[in-house]
A and B are shown apart, each in its own frame.
Chain A
Amino acid sequence: MFRNLLSLAVLLSIASTPLVARAVTPVELKSVKIDLPDSDKMFPDGSGSDAINNNCLACHSADMVLNQPSLSKQAWTAEVNKMINNYKAPIAPEDVGTIVEYLTTLKGAK
């Protein structure tokens, strides 16, 4: 009853905006507890796969990288540096070259 009055008031007050107060159906919220699936997929074996597995799985699953298109070595270098500079990926400087080589071999521009 109270809500109906409220809706009517809203309807009158906002008639000129697209926010429509079609008698808003009351919504009651319920607490939620779920489990999100995880992925423990690793990068395919190859020279440098240890470096990429150790450095590139903390923030996102491997599919983030494996679903990327083929990119140039320059683009992969920029990508790894973006992870370090923008997202604070803790990657040892000596691993950067190895990871870029791995990515260029796996997904280099043809």
Chain B
Amino acid sequence: MPGRLDPEPIARRDFLGLAGLWAAFLAIGGSVVGMLRLPKPRVTPEASSVVRIGKAEDFPPGTSRVMLEHRIRVFSSSEGIAAVSLICTHLGCIVKETADGFSCPCHGSKFALDGKVIKGPAPRALNWLACARAADGTLLVDTSRDVKTGTYYKA
């Protein structure tokens, strides 16, 4: 029999106390870990990222139109139609059209017409966006899907 003179390696009460404590910690910890999932929604609440920009006929080769409400510039050439995002790849300001391209008011990035970085801190060229055509013939631009620079859409 273990007793005062011959103690157990870990006293029974200590063991029970520790077990209780650990159970409580685990319960709290488990709940907290479970709740950590909460702040990341499964679906983000924005409006659809696909926007309608008009009929293909509205964009004969050589057009260039800035659509500020969608934060894109749509232009076309003999190769087809393309949409380039106006959101600066540095920290997300909206770039302004200049004589020979775009400039960003926030930290002075400058981009060529095709979106290539010419100057400033922007790490990447402006995104070219995926274009498509809806069943009724309207052109669609998906502002959340980028394609390789120089990919024109043959409408």
Q: Do A and B bind each other?
A: no
Enumerate chain A interface residues (CB-CB to B < 8 A).
none
Enumerate chain B interface residues (CB-CB to A < 8 A).
none
